[in-house]
Structures are given as C-alpha cells and as structure tokens.
C-alpha cells in the first residue's frame, strides 16, 4: 500500500480517536457538572438567603443595580437557627443513632444469611443471590408500606402473638423507633448481605482446613479466620446501610412516630409544610457535612479493596 | 535406606480403607504400612484417589470403610484439630491476614504453648527453611517459593508425628521445583518426621521418596522402592506410568534355566526374560517391558540365533543433549524407542535417519509383566 | 466436600428469606381481601383490582411514571455507559477525580438532598416543573448506577480480547462496537433495568421536582397511604411487584439459558 495514504489513514484514525475520547468523557461530565454539582452551589447559596413571601420564596444573594455598587446579602441566620434550636441538633444526633443501631442489627441479621449462602451447594448459589436481590428491585415504598399492616396494633404480628398466647395486650410497635429499626433493616438488608456473601464465597475453604489441621476448633476458626477475612465485606455492607439510613425519609415518615426525629423528615417538613427553602437548604448543607466523613471513608475503603484485588 | 517395613510394627497402618462419594469410589480397599521416619510417596494421575487418601489421614474426610492406625491408635475418633498430624496444602492455604510469624505461630497458639517458647520455635523453624529475614511480611508480599517455605514451616513447627504434603511443589517452576526436592529431603532427614507426599510427578516421587505407592483408580497398583518400581514394574500400568517403556506382546514357548522364552513376530530368535516365581507356564500370553536406554542400537546385525534382537528403520532422532532418542520402525510396523548416551556422537558409526539398524538387549533387561 | 447444609445454615436461610418475603406475600394476599381491612381475612375478592382500574387519577399517575421511567432509563443508559467507559478505559484525564466523585456521589447521597438541589436548580433556571424536570432528575441519579455496573464489568473483562481485535487491525472505535459492547451487553441490560426500576420506585426526588399535573405513581401511593391503608393500594402494589418480578426473573432465565446453550455447544464441540 502507498505509504502516504497509510500515514494519512493512521492520522485520521488518531484524530477520530482523540475526538471520540473527548466526547465520551465530556457528555457525562458536563451533564453531571450541570445537574449535580451546580445544584449544590445553589443549595449553598440559598442556605444563606432569607425566606420571603414571593416566587421564588427567598431573597437574592447579591444585587448589582445599574450605576450602583455590588451588594452581597449573605446571612448566617439559618445556620444560627440550626444551632440554637435544639430540635435540629437532636434530629441530627438521633438520625446518626438510629442509623448506627440499624446497621448493627442488619449485620447481625445479614451475616448468618450471607454465611449460609456461601456454604450452600454451588448449584443453589445463583438462585439464592437472586432471591436476595429480588426484593431490592420491587418498590421500596411498597415494601415499607407492607410493614404497616404487620406492625399495627390490630396488625398481623399482634394477631399471631395473641393467638399463640405470648401476649394479652397488643404490642405497640408501629409509630415507634422500633418500627423504624425494623423498616431500615428490612429495606437495606440486601446491601448488607451481598458484600458479605461476595467476601465469604471467595474465601478459600482450605484455610479453614488448615486452621483445623493446626489444632483450631471450628468456633475458634470462625473468629480467627472467617470474620477477619470477611472484614472488607462487613465494612462495605455497614457503610452501604449506614449512609443512606442517616438521610432516610420514607421509613421514619411511614413507620416512625411523631417523636421519631430524623433529619430527612425535618428537611421535608421545612420545605413542603413550612415552605422555608433557606432553612431546608441549610439543613441539607449540614447533613452533607455530617455525611461527608463516612462517604469519604467508604470511598477510600473501596479504593483500597480494588487495589488489593488488582 | 531407612525404611524397614518388615522390621518394626507399622508406624502408620492403613487397613482396608475405602471412600465413596455417592456412587463414585475414590479410594477402594487400600492397605498400606508406613514406617517411622519414612519418606513415602503416593503417586498417580489426577483422580486416582491419592489426595482423598491423604485427606482421610488429615481428618477432612471420613473413610467409608477400614481403619487408620497411627502407632496403633485409631485416628477415626479424632477430629482434624486433635490429630498429631499436620498437612501442607497444595494451595499452601496461608492465612492472608496474618504475617509469616502469625501463620507459623498459629498452630502453637492453639495448643497454648508459652509465648517465649512460641517465639523460639518459630525462629528455629524459619531458620530451618531459610526465611528468617521475612518474618513480618504478609503472604502476598512473598514469592511463590517463599510461600511454599512458609507453608512447610507452618506444618513442621508443631512437630507432628506425621506430615502430609499435598502436591507441595506443584506451583513452583521446574528449576525451583528440582532444587526444592533436595531441600525437602534434607529437612526431612534433619527433623526425622514421617512424611507422606502426594504427587502426580513421577520424577518428584522417584527423587524424594524412600518408597512409592503407585495408585490407579482408587487402588494400589504397586508399593516399592523407586528403583524396584522402575526396574521391576509388575504391571503395564506401572511400567508405563513410571518412565518410558517399550511393550512387547507374545506367547511363552518354554521355560529353561530360569529364563522364559517368548515367541514374538519381530524377533527371529524370540525374546528372553528372567522368569518370575508366579509363572508363566508355556503357552501363556505374556507381556514384556523393556526400557529404552537398555536397548542397544547398531548398524550391523548380532550373531544369528541371538534372542532379544530385532531390525528396523530409524524414523526419527530426537537430540536431548546428554542422550538421543531413536524411534525405530520394525518390519511389522511397530515402533520401538531406544535411548543412547551421546558420548559417541562424534565418534565413528553415527546413525542417521532412514538407516537400517539392529536392536538388541540383554535378557535381564526384559521385564515380565503380570497380564 | 460435604454436599448439604448444616442445620444452623439451613435455619439461617429459611428465617432470612422468610423475613424478606413474608411482608410482600401478606401484601399480595390481602389485595384479594373482601373486607376493607387489610388485616382481617373476609373472603376472596378481586374488587380492589376493579377499583384500581377504574381509578383514573391512579392510571394517569401510572402512565406518567412509565413515561418518565422509559425515557430516563434509556438516556441514563447512554450517559452512564459513557461514564463507565471513561472511568474504566480512558486512563487519566484532567478532572478525573472530580468526575469519579460526581459519578459515585449520587449512590450515597440522601434523596432529600438530591431532590432539593435539583429543584432549586430548576427554579433558578425558571424551568416549569413537570414531566421533563422529573425525567432530568431521574437521569442524573440513575446514570450513576449504570456507570458503576458498566465500569465494574469492564474492569473484570479480559483485556486481551480487545487487544486481539486491535492486533487483527480493528481501530479502537470499531473494537469497542465489535468486541467490547457485545461482551458487556448483559451489564447494559442490567444497568437499564436498574435505572428503570429506580425511576419507577422514586418518591422523594419526584416529589421535589414534579409540578401540578405530573404526579407519579409512588407520589400517589404515598399520599393515599398517609390517608390510611386500603386494599386498593395492596392491589396496585401487587401489580407492580408482579411486573418487576416477572421482568427480573425473565431476564435472569434468558441469561441462564444463554449460558446453558453456550456450555452445551462447548461440550458438543469438544467431545
């Protein structure tokens, strides 16, 4: 083939390659910049504005009237309110507490399931994994709703317990924190089970045999070998339950009581009921700051796992 | 040779042991005696049951029938973590979350050995396998050869009565494997522990073991010293599994003076082999095995009437450095392999491809196989 | 080598799956209840399904949800796949850290924050809230899920297949369409399904970003649940659960069948 033609062809391919590469990166990049990052800047901006009866219901951040000078109207009032009114601090603290307890409960419930799945005959495993994922595909709202009928005072759980004769008076579960724990564990269980399973199933069975061979009893081997090796799964699963649980709205709203303070619910109320967009924005900014620590820790953990596996 | 199977009461006795998985019989009525201090090899192709037998000794599988006696004590009642037996795993099974020291000390910690003693014994065994400088590394920071040594150290440190090695060298490359075979033998001699090794590599078994059990589909085909297995295989399976071999089929004509004369189409004067205690009688169909290096190859014919003489044409010559392999097609179409050392390569009488040659071997080079 | 499961493991599986499935089963059972109470069985009836079908507002909401889900998951599939490729294959580029941060962040971001921030953007831009604002919001958060699925598939894919294609003369773009895309296609299907069900399911973000006349099904269900539990919601839920289950099970069966066929062909080719 003609050398010049060949060279031109190569250069053309290269140019197309660069262009293609650029557009592959640019289209999702620009989309996310505009629809994900910019909105946060706006939240930040509005969190230092004041509420007013207008459309939109907040004051502008700055004005630059013709011939006049640049004026900035940032106010820290919303943040001062979050600190001074103990409602907000209690809501943040309570959200963290409920998320932490739910995470621990999910680990307690999820570990035996994941362990049994990893030990099940190989032919079953794909089906078992699908059975864990399937509820995750069905509507979150519906799954939370299903618990209302079960936990109500005249609900099915109380019916069954009374029929067995365990209780005389109905247990009051719905509209309490306990119902919220149940709802979070139930809704987020797949997020706990799947990473645990992924770790446990990869574990080399000969490690347990080696431990037994060296004189270690099965219970000892569980704590000394299985649990440490499942650690990445435990950490990943716990973050995957904890982080979304902190900002949860649907579960405390439908299952929790009026006293179940959670920050996602506060934000919703400020926005929809009080129509106080600036305070809602300030609540969101602080919630993000609270969550940034576990999110960064989680990202770092995942990064390390990927590197360790590579 | 330290092995003395007849002399003292068996150190390890495997008595009629079978293992079935569903309808598959992995180990079929195996009986073996292994002496104290012996280096014993279980050799066979994959799926012959050797690993299952080893895992029964370690306690990971329960025999379907039979008994395993170590110094007269039945092992069946003991779970793996109570047996005075340690195993070196094919995958090494090093605990990835523990350092070299952590791995090696693990077994001693289970026995609640005092801390000072643990430290001393770990140091001692790491020195034995020449890993003293790497005590704080994690398994993934070690080379394949170093991991292999950690696994060995971990299984040795408890000073078991019996050490089981499941394909311990399979993951190493050829050069390292050969070097490690000699180190393994040296270590075994120093610690004096009875070793049972499972391998599919005949060279490895021949090199390291005092005695070898060749296994075939769950059964023991032959138990002998390496030289006896090589020089006097009792079946075609063993002859073909260990080294290269030429097999001749024929019919016994007569037994005279301790030699069996065999009729065979390619040998004008017949074949001759030393007779065995158990036969054969004249008229039986028999099989002879002859190792390639025992067959002389020459341009000219031997004196007429010589037994074990054949003629044919050289079809291929493989040069392997110290030796050359000649493939010779006999007049009947059968191919015979002969190996010659290359001392004479530049001397006279070099044989080329296509040349007509004469093959011959002494009577004692013929091995009568049990049919 | 032991085949079965020990008693404890079997118990863990039984109890675990009972916990996961009994609430959904009860929900389905009581959608066929004659009585208005969702807790006391009063005989079999399909009247709640009739009521559901006759409820025009509910059907409008369902139609709106479906339109949003189809469009948003398809756009999210394209953008998410590009993002996954950029992260898995295109090495370093300026702003990569920010980019990967933005791709992963929606996965862990509380929905209330995503919803609020998207709404404030639309208000700042003076976009009328309705079908399109909900769709754009759904694209934004579900493309992250697609990106993660595609990226992890690309990372586990055997690179030598692409190298072989290029070695045989296929330029990168052609290699991508001829080799990479067919191999990762199950991940694309999974990513699309994920984006679709996330959109179908979303209450919080839709509540923030929708306007009058663009009520989605979850919003409708939520407002009815707040008024009280009725078997009609159970009926709607049963239909939704049924559709999704059939979809997911069918997808996995097709996948499994393809694998079985491939195995059989491989065995036939290698007697």
Chain A touched by B256 (CB under 8 Å): no
Pick from A204, A206, A217: CB nearest B81:
A217
List all residues 6 or more positions away from B169 whose beta carbon is below 8 Å from its beta carbon: B148, B177, B180, B181, B184, B199, B201, B204
Confidence of residue B39 (pLDDT cuts 50, 70, 90): very high
Q: Rounded to the nearest 10 degrees, what angle do helices C217-227 and C181-201 cross at?
A: 30
Cα angle B174, B176, B180; round to 5 = 115
Residue B188 shares a structural domain with residue B125: yes
Residue B153 shares a structural domain with residue B180: yes
Do A204 and B79 make contact, defined as CB atoms within 8 angstroms?
no
Confidence of residue B1 (pLDDT cuts 50, 70, 90): very low
Buried b (16+ CB within 10 A) or exposed e, B170-185: eebeeeebeebbeebb
From A88-102, B343-357, C55-69, the region with the lowest mean pLDDT: B343-357
Domain boundary among B180, B208, B240: B240
Confidence of residue C1 (pLDDT cuts 50, 70, 90): very low
Per CB-CB distance under 8 Å, the chain A contacts of C83 are 28-29, 32
Per CB-CB distance under 8 Å, the chain B contacts of A224 are 106
Q: CATH number of the domain that B282 lies in?
A: 2.40.50.100
Alpha-carbon gap, residue B249 to B243, rounded angstroms = 19
pLDDT score for C38: 64
Do A42 and C124 make contact, defined as CB atoms within 8 angstroms?
yes
pLDDT tens digits, C132-175: 999 999 999 999 999 999 998 898 888 778 777 777 777 777 78
Do C121 and A147 make contact, defined as CB atoms within 8 angstroms?
no
Topology of domain C55-241 in CATH is: MetI-like fold (1.10.3720)
Residue B49 shares a structural domain with residue B96: yes
Residue B287 shares a structural domain with residue B143: no
Chain A touched by B139 (CB under 8 Å): no
Q: CATH number of the domain that B113 lies in?
A: 3.40.50.300
Chain B partners (3+ C-beta pairs within 8 A) = A, C
Pick from A13, A56, A112: CB nearest C12:
A112
When comparing pLDDT for C249 and B200, which is higher?
B200
pLDDT score for C2: 45
B24-34 and B285-290 beta bridge pairing? unpaired
Q: Measure A241 CA to nearest chain B CA, in Å.
A: 25
Chain A touched by C242 (CB under 8 Å): no
Number of separate domains in chain B: 2
Percent helix, strand, coil in chain B, to 5, is: 25, 35, 35
Residue B50 shares a structural domain with residue B189: yes
B344 within domain boundaries: yes
Cα angle B235, B237, B240; round to 5 = 105
pLDDT score for A105: 97
B218 within domain boundaries: yes
Q: What are phi and psi of B33, to 5 degrees?
A: -120, 130
Residue B261 shares a structural domain with residue B353: yes
Chain C partners (3+ C-beta pairs within 8 A) = A, B
pLDDT tens digits, A210-225: 999 999 998 999 999 9
Residue numbers of the domain that contains B219: 12-240
Mean predicted confidence (pLDDT) in C38-44? 76
Mean predicted confidence (pLDDT) in B302-314? 88
B232 within domain boundaries: yes
Q: Which of A258-272, B113-127, C221-235, C236-250 tops mean pLDDT?
A: B113-127
Residue B45 shares a structural domain with residue B185: yes
B6 within domain boundaries: no
Domain boundary among B221, B240, B259: B240
From A81-85, B191-195, B245-249, the region with the lowest mean pLDDT: A81-85
pLDDT score for B2: 41
pLDDT tens digits, B214-224: 999 999 999 99
Domain boundary among B193, B222, B240: B240
Q: Measure A229 CA to nearest chain B CA, in Å.
A: 7
CATH superfamily of A77-309: MetI-like (1.10.3720.10)
Mean predicted confidence (pLDDT) in A230-253? 93
Domains of chain A, by residue range, sit at 3-72, 77-309
Alpha-carbon gap, residue C205 to C193, rounded angstroms = 19
Cα angle C37, C197, A104; round to 5 = 75
Residue B323 shares a structural domain with residue B196: no
Are the C-beta atoms of residues A175 and A258 closer than 8 Å to each other?
A: yes
Domains of chain C, by residue range, sit at 55-241
């Amino acid at each position: 083939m003609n050398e010049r033609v060949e060279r031109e062809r190569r250069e053309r391919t290269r140019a197309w390659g660069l262009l293609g590469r650029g557009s592959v990166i640019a289209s999702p990049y620009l989309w996310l910049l505009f629809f994900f990052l910019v909105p946060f800047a706006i939240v930040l901006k509005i969190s230092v504005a004041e509420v007013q009866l207008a459309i939109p219901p907040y004051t502008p951040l700055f004005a630059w009237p013709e011939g006049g000078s640049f004026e900035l109207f940032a106010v820290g009032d919303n943040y001062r309110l979050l600190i001074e009114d103990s409602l907000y601090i209690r809501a943040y603290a309570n959200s963290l507490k409920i998320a932490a307890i739910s995470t621990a409960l999910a680990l307690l419930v999820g570990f035996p399931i994941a362990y049994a799945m990893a030990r099940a005959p190989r032919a079953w495993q794909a089906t078992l994994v699908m059975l864990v994922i399937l509820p995750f595909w069905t509507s979150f709202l519906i799954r939370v709703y299903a618990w209302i009928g079960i936990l109500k005072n005249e609900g099915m759980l109380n019916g069954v317990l009374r029929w067995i004769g365990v209780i005389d008076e109905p247990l009051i579960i719905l509209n309490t924190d306990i119902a919220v724990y149940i709802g979070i564990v139930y809704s987020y269980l797949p997020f706990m089970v799947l990473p645990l399973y992924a770790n446990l199933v990869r574990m080399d069975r000969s490690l347990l045999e080696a431990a037994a061979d060296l004189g270690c009893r099965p219970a000892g081997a569980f704590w000394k070998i299985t649990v440490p090796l499942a650690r990445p799964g435990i950490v990943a699963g716990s973050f995957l339950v904890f982080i979304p649980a902190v900002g949860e709205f649907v579960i405390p709203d439908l299952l929790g009581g009026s006293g179940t303070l959670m920050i996602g619910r506060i934000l919703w109320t400020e926005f929809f009921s009080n129509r106080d967009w600036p305070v809602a924005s300030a609540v969101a900014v602080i919630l993000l700051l609270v969550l940034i620590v576990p999110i960064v820790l989680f990202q770092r953990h995942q990064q390390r796992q990927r590197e360790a596996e590579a | 040779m330290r092995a003395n199977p007849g002399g003292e009461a068996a150190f390890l006795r495997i008595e009629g042991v079978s293992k079935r998985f569903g309808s598959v019989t992995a180990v079929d009525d195996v009986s073996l005696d292994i002496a104290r201090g012996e280096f014993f090899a279980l050799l066979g192709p994959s799926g012959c049951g050797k690993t299952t037998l080893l895992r029964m000794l370690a306690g990971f599988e329960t025999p379907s029938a039979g008994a395993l006696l170590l110094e007269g004590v039945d092992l069946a009642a003991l779970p793996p973590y109570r047996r005075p037996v340690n195993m070196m795993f094919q995958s090494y099974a090093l605990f990835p979350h523990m350092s070299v020291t952590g791995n090696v000390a693990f077994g001693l910690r289970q026995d609640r050995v005092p801390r000072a003693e643990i430290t001393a014994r770990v140091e001692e065994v790491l020195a034995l396998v020449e890993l003293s400088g790497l005590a704080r590394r994690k398994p993934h920071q070690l080379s394949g050869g170093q991991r292999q040594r950690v696994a060995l150290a971990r299984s040795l440190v408890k000073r078991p009565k019996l050490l089981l090695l499941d394909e311990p060298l399979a993951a190493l490359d050829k050069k390292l494997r050969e070097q490690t075979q000699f180190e393994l033998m040296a270590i075994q001699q120093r610690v004096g522990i009875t070793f049972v090794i499972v391998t599919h590599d005949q060279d490895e078994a021949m090199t390291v073991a005092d005695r070898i059990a060749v296994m075939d589909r769950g059964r023991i085909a032959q138990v002998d010293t390496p030289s006896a297995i090589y020089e006097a295989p009792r079946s075609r399976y063993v002859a073909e599994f260990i080294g290269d071999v030429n097999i001749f089929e024929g019919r016994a004509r007569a037994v005279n003076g301790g030699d069996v004369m065999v009729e065979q189409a390619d040998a004008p004067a017949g074949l001759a082999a030393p007779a065995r205690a158990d036969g054969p009688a004249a008229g039986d169909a028999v099989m002879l095995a002859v190792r390639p290096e025992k067959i002389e190859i020459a341009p000219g014919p031997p004196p007429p009437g010589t037994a074990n003489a054949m003629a044919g044409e050289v079809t291929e010559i493989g040069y392997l450095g110290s030796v050359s392999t000649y493939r010779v097609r006999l007049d009947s179409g059968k191919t015979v392999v002969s190996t010659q050392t290359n001392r004479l390569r530049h001397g006279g009488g070099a044989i080329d491809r296509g040349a007509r040659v004469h093959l011959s071997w002494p009577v004692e080079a013929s091995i009568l196989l049990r049919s | 080598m032991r085949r079965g499961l020990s008693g404890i493991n079997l118990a863990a599986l039984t109890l675990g799956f009972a916990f996961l499935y009994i609430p959904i089963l009860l929900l389905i059972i009581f959608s066929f209840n004659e009585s208005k109470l969702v807790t006391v069985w009063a005989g079999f009836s399909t009247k709640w399904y009739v009521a559901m079908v006759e409820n025009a507002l509910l059907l409008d909401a369902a139609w709106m949800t479906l339109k949003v889900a189809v469009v948003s998951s398809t756009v999210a599939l394209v953008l998410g796949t590009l993002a996954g490729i950029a992260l898995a294959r295109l090495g370093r580029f300026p702003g990569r850290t920010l980019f990967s941060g933005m791709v992963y962040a929606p996965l862990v971001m509380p929905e209330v924050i995503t919803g609020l921030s998207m709404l404030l953007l639309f208000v700042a831009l003076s976009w009328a809230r309705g079908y399109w604002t909900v769709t754009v919001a759904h694209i934004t958060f579900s493309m992250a899920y697609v990106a993660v699925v595609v990226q992890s598939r690309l990372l586990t894919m055997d690179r030598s297949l692409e190298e072989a294609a290029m070695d045989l003369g296929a330029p990168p773009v052609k290699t991508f369409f001829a080799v990479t895309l067919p191999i990762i296609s199950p991940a694309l299907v999974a990513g699309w399904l994920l984006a679709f069900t996330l959109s179908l399911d979303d209450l919080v973000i839709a509540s923030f970003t929708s306007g009058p006349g663009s009520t989605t099904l979850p919003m409708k269900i939520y407002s009815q649940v707040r008024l009280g539990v009725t078997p009609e919601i159970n009926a709607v839920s049963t239909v939704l659960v049924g559709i999704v289950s059939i979809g997911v099970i069918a997808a996995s069966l097709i996948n499994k069948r393809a694998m079985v066929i491939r195995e059989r062909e491989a065995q036939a080719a290698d007697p």
